[in-house]
């Protein structure tokens, strides 16, 4: 499958088959790395890493993934460039596109990412925006596939803030790949109807089921319980009211037991605020696969770069 030259902005832009291809490529690159085999699929490539928001996993995943395949990554933080301030996003994109072969952006507005992609002339990858976090979803899907041997037909429950970038992206990724997706949240934090309608269309095509609920009992039969921080970056002023609203949706032992399945796993994109969205005992339990997810950020991000910028997985 040829994804060369494509941007990676949201999983809306990729078919079920293309996402499955990226997961297969991720697994191959991961297996190679475990054997001590690194490639040169990105040899001679220079990659710009633009960060308005701080990161542990995203930054490290892009840096290590790029270097493993022979590329040179250059980190540009919010104090290093004048993105959209002293210099327009379009002008920055055109400058960087002439110096770099690919650009990663992690920041606030999704429109900034789209403008970079419009003007850069090289592949642009989404490291996170306020609306979408697609590289995390690839890591989540790879982790699920490793654990269960498949993703299609699994029952996946996301619990917490149902209208943040993680809920949005999980809905897209899961419904496209045939995973039964439940968003469990108070009604005031339900995802936008427009996105729900879109994902219901994906679910109809893939054979999945999409459910939006505020009933804690909706976790019954879940194969995966997934949560995220209750207060996203940039919303710190809403912390007190958000905590009060989401307390009943904490992932704890009682909630995990409500699934009725011993095989249920716990997932989190990290960083986790233990004692809030998840209790320490669940986070540290044998059911938790959060560090598998964290590692898989690197393998899946590497796959995205190789597929869209590199020589391909067969070279």
Annotated binding-site positions: 55-58, 82, 106, 133-136, 165, 228, 232-233, 269-270, 297
Is 136 a catalytic site residue?
yes
Is 269 a catalytic site residue?
yes
**Torsions phi, psi of 307, nearest 5?**
-70, -35
User: What DSSP string runs through 98-145?
Assistant: HH-SEEEEESS-HHHHHHHHHHHSS-EEEEE-SS--HHHHHHHHHHHH
Strands 102-106 and 46-51: parallel
The strand order across the sheet containing 124-128 reads: 72-77, 46-51, 102-106, 124-128
Choosing from 68, 268, 269, 313, the catalytic residue is 269
Choosing from 106, 110, 268, 299, the catalytic residue is 106
The SS3 assignment for 225 reads: strand
Q: Which two tokens stand for residue 255?
A: 């909630």
* DSSP 8-state symbol, 9: S
User: What DSSP string runs through 41-63?
Assistant: TTTT-EEEEEESS--SHHHHHHH
Is 223 a catalytic site residue?
no
Choosing from 136, 140, 199, 299, the catalytic residue is 136
Q: What angle do CA 193, 199, 202 make, to 5 degrees?
A: 155
Is 228 a catalytic site residue?
yes
Q: Could you tell me which residues are annotated as the binding site for L-ornithine?
A: 165, 228, 232-233
The dihedral through the CA atoms of 161, 56, 37, 267 has a sign that is negative
Choosing from 110, 133, 268, 299, the catalytic residue is 133
Crossing angle for the helix pair 89-99 and 110-120, to the nearest 10 degrees:
50
CB 30 within 8 A of CB 296: yes
Work out the number of other CB atoms within 10 angstroms of the CB of residue 238.
13
Q: Could you tell me which residues are annotated as the binding site for carbamoyl phosphate?
A: 55-58, 82, 106, 133-136, 269-270, 297
Residue positions annotated with a catalytic role: 106, 133, 136, 228, 269, 297
């Amino acid at each position: 499958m040829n994804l060369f030259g494509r941007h990676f902005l949201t999983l809306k832009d990729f078919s079920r088959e293309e996402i499955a291809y990226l997961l297969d490529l991720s697994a191959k690159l991961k297996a190679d790395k475990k054997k001590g085999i690194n490639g040169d699929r990105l040899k001679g490539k220079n990659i710009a890493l633009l960060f308005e928001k701080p990161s542990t996993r995203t930054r490290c995943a892009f840096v290590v993934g790029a270097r493993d395949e022979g590329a040179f990554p250059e980190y540009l933080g919010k104090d290093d460039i004048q993105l959209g301030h002293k210099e327009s996003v379009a002008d920055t994109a055109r400058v960087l596109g002439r110096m770099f072969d690919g650009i990663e952006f992690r920041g606030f507005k999704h429109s900034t990412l789209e403008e970079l992609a419009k003007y850069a002339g090289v592949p642009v990858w989404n490291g996170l925006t306020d609306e979408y976090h697609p590289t995390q979803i690839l890591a989540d899907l790879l982790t699920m596939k490793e654990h269960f041997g498949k993703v299609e037909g699994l029952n996946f429950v996301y619990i917490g803030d149902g209208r943040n970038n993680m809920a949005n992206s999980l809905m897209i990724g899961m419904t496209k790949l045939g995973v039964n997706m439940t968003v469990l949240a108070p009604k005031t934090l339900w995802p936008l109807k427009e996105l729900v309608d879109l994902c219901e269309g994906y679910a109809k095509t893939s054979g999945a089921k999409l459910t939006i609920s505020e009933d804690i009992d909706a976790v019954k039969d879940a194969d995966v319980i997934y949560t995220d921080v209750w207060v996203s970056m940039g919303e710190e002023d809403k912390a007190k009211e958000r905590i009060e609203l989401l307390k009943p949706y904490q992932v704890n032992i009682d909630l995990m037991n409500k699934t009725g399945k011993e095989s249920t796993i716990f997932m989190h994109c990290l960083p986790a605020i233990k004692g809030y969205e998840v209790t320490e005992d669940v986070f540290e339990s044998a059911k938790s696969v959060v560090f598998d997810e964290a590692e898989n950020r690197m393998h899946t991000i590497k796959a995205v770069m190789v597929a869209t910028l590199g020589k391909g997985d067969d070279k």
